[in-house]
Chain A
Amino acid sequence: GEDVEQSLFLSVREGDSSVINCTYTDSSSTYLYWYKQEPGAGLQLLTYIFSNMDMKQDQRLTVLLNKKDKHLSLRIADTQTGDSAIYFCAEIPSGYSTLTFGKGTMLLVSP
């Protein structure tokens, strides 16, 4: 399978913006996803973006896609302590029917 890479850790203060970055390797992936995992729980789909879009906004979440650089980012505005979790970037590479995940970015929000 293809590799999806993310930074492992991000620490921000409450009220600041958080930006979580991801690099994927298959330029023909049709959809790219962001999942959130709170401690001891399953993964929750946060948002996804079609590969023909550059940006998608959903309330406090903004997803930016740079297809040329194969770079995906998730921006969380006005980050809250409840946003502390692990965030996974994922893609379905061409020729595959399963999601390929990054290792996850642990976001820690301090008051």
Chain B
Amino acid sequence: SQTIHQWPATLVQPVGSPLSLECTVEGTSNPNLYWYRQAAGRGLQLLFYSVGIGQISSEVPQNLSASRPQDRQFILSSKKLLLSDSGFYLCAWSGTLEAFFGQGTRLTVV
């Protein structure tokens, strides 16, 4: 069966520090991979999606970036965090019909 791992579960980082969130998928190959952010207003905002290794599409301009170094690995990064980067970050993968989500990372920038 397919599983998705996302870590860490919680993270507190100072303003200006770098960020690296990692997501890996098991049990499938060549998945579409996504990073979403969920802010306090509860809506889900699509940040990046990838249809293959090295292929990244950005939906919202910001100081975040994403990379896909391997087929089933998706990384969300920042060189310098802002206070406004605080939120709940969700990684997801999709096959033909459905999307499956990781358990999320609660990021607090202080």
Q: Which residues of A approach B to under 8 Å, CB–CB?
A: 8, 31, 33, 35, 40-45, 48, 86, 88, 90, 97-99, 101-104, 106
Q: Which residues of A contact B44 (CB under 8 A)?
A: 43, 88, 101, 104
Q: Which residues of A contact B46 (CB under 8 A)?
A: 98-99
* Nearest chain A CB to B32 CB, angstrom units: 7
Q: Choose from B32, B51, B102 the contact partner of A42 (Cβ within 8 Å).
A: B102
Cβ-Cβ contact count across A and B, 8 Å cutoff: 50
Q: Which 4 A-B pairs have the closest CB atoms?
A: A42-B101, A103-B43, A43-B101, A101-B44
Q: Identify the stretch in B14-22, B67-75, B78-86, B91-99 within 8 Å (CB) of chain A at 4 or more residues.
A: B91-99
For the complex, give the distance between the alpha carbons of A40 and B44 in Å. Answer: 14
Q: Which residues of B contact A45 (CB under 8 A)?
A: 98-100
Q: State whether A97 touches B103 (Cβ < 8 A).
A: no
Q: Choose from B6, B49, B101 the contact partner of A98 (Cβ within 8 Å).
A: B49
Q: State whether B106 touches A99 (Cβ < 8 A).
A: no
Q: State whether B104 touches A48 (Cβ < 8 A).
A: no
* Nearest chain A CB to B82 CB, angstrom units: 23
Q: State whether A40 touches B98 (Cβ < 8 A).
A: no
For the complex, give the distance between the alpha carbons of A31 and B103 in Å. Answer: 24
The A contact surface, by secondary structure, is: strand
Q: Known A103-B41, A106-B42; judge A97-B32 contact (CB<8 A).
A: yes
> Besides the contacts A43-B90, A99-B46, what 4 more A-B pairs have beta carbons closer than 8 Å?
A48-B98, A86-B42, A88-B44, A98-B46
Q: How many residues of B contact A (CB 8 A)?
A: 23
For the complex, give the distance between the alpha carbons of A42 and B46 in Å. Answer: 14
Q: Which residues of A contact B94 (CB under 8 A)?
A: 99
* Nearest chain A CB to B89 CB, angstrom units: 10
Q: Choose from A35, A97, A103 the contact partner of B49 (Cβ within 8 Å).
A: A97
Q: Choose from B34, B97, B106 the contact partner of A31 (Cβ within 8 Å).
A: B97
Q: Which residues of A contact B92 (CB under 8 A)?
A: 43
